[in-house]
A = this chain, B = another copy of it.
Amino acid sequence: MKKSTKTSTKKRALWMWSALGLACGAAHAQSSVTLFGVVDLGVQQTRSGDGGKVTALGNGGLSTSRIGFRGTEDLGSGLRAGFWLEGSLNPDTGAGRATNTNNQPSGATTAGPLTFDRMSYVSLSHTQWGEVRAGRDFIPTHYNSIYFDPFNANGVARAGNLTFAGAGTGPLPTAIAGSNTLSYWLPGKLGGLYGMAMVGTGENLSNAPNSDDGNFAGLRLGYAAGAFDVAAAFTRSQFSSTAAIGNYTHANVGGTWDAGFAKFFALYNRVTVQLAAGSVRKNTAEIGAHIPAFEVGRIRLSYAYLDDRSDTSVRTPGGQARSGDDARQWGVGYVHNLSKRTALYGTYARISNRGEARYVVSGGAAPAAGRSSSGWELGVRHTF
């Protein structure tokens, strides 16, 4: 009996080996490769204050849909090598998303097919010295945009609706992620301090015009201890100013406080784009909360205000630009976790535009100037 049990264990193990049979090309004892992803889809309806409505199958209302491969290898003495390849999905259509090869408008790849547009890097890390990554990754400021937005930079109520969308600044290839980057990440064991610095290059010929276009650099520093987590970040991208794009700086600071009965969020962004016609400057402040509910769920709330410091449509008697093309957004949602991997969610968001502002909830069509934009979505997010 004992023998037979052992044999059956052994046989199962062998069978697993052959049935699974999915091994790394160069497997070693300390290695692992992980296939992972998210498929997040929901019914979505967005409305413009001027009457337009779009009924859609929304994508990524709770988390960005994606597929990826990642792995690490233990090299001994605290040193590890690793890689990460992760691409966005639009599972409503089976499409992927474009990446950008040179951090400039000319480097945009065609929309539709799969790429590893989110993250694509090789890394060497050491438990004491930190990590160096080379490749494509989120820029420092975007990490704050994700972690300190109660809607995690996804769905109709994401904070980024105000920060970037409708910014009148054309394509900003480095607004979220950058290519051709080197980054350094502090090690994990610094008593709560964390941070990273990143540089990226547009890979232009040095003696050609606008040779700095697409170069960028950024920094993020944070501190997390107990219920608190705060971080500040700054990223500056260089572009020769054209009608659509110019030097672009983004600074933000944010934090969360988990008070037990609720987790509170705050995020403040300053974005500047230096165009030939003058600088576009926008400041956004957002506060929000997660409130646990129904044992496995949480309510999500946010309120955001965008102050367009460069607007010209409304002037105070003193001639100072103020509150002209500004916008407010509020969002409310509920996430119901069916398991650690699968959740149902519903979100509603509404943007009130002023002056010439035409901000729009994610997935919607841009309203007429000064008209509102709103939308709801009901979806399911499944991770693997």
The complex places the Cα of A2 from the Cα of B87 at a distance, in Å, of 47
Instruction: Using CB atoms, name the residue of chain B closest to A51.
Output: B207
Across the interface, A92 reaches (CB within 8 A) one of B92, B180, B206, B365, namely B180
Interfacial chain B residues near A37, Cβ < 8 Å: 25, 69, 83, 85
A71 in contact with B21 given A101-B93, A116-B94, A120-B91 (CB within 8 Å): yes
A114 in contact with B113 given A24-B22, A94-B179 (CB within 8 Å): yes
Q: Are B340 and A56 in contact (CB under 8 A)?
A: no
Q: Are A115 and B113 in contact (CB under 8 A)?
A: yes
Copies of this chain, count? 3
Across the interface, A35 reaches (CB within 8 A) one of B33, B83, B93, namely B33
Across the interface, A100 reaches (CB within 8 A) one of B93, B100, B115, B116, namely B93
Interfacial chain B residues near A122, Cβ < 8 Å: 39-41, 91, 380-382
A382 in contact with B81 given A22-B33, A201-B56, A207-B53 (CB within 8 Å): yes
Q: Mark A34-57, 1 if CB is under 8 A from B, else 0.
A: 111101111100000001111111
The complex places the Cα of A121 from the Cα of B57 at a distance, in Å, of 11
Interface range for A: 35 or more
A114 in contact with B117 given A19-B24, A95-B101, A342-B81 (CB within 8 Å): no
Q: Are B28 and A339 in contact (CB under 8 A)?
A: yes
Q: Are B365 and A26 in contact (CB under 8 A)?
A: no
The segment from A7-15, A189-197, A307-315 found at the interface with B is A7-15
Q: Are B94 and A41 in contact (CB under 8 A)?
A: no
Interface: A242 (CB within 8 A) = no
Q: Are A113 and B109 in contact (CB under 8 A)?
A: yes
Closest CB of chain B to A177's CB: distance in Å? 8
Interface: A20 (CB within 8 A) = yes
Across the interface, A94 reaches (CB within 8 A) one of B99, B102, B365, namely B99
Chain A 99-150 interface residues, beta-carbon cutoff 8 Å to B: 99-102, 107, 109-122, 124, 134-136
Q: Mark A173-207, 1 if CB is under 8 A from B, else 0.
A: 00000011110000000000000000001011111
The complex places the Cα of A208 from the Cα of B111 at a distance, in Å, of 23
Q: Mark A219-232, 1 if CB is under 8 A from B, else 0.
A: 00000000000000
A341 in contact with B201 given A113-B115, A134-B57 (CB within 8 Å): no
A41 in contact with B121 given A180-B56, A180-B57 (CB within 8 Å): yes
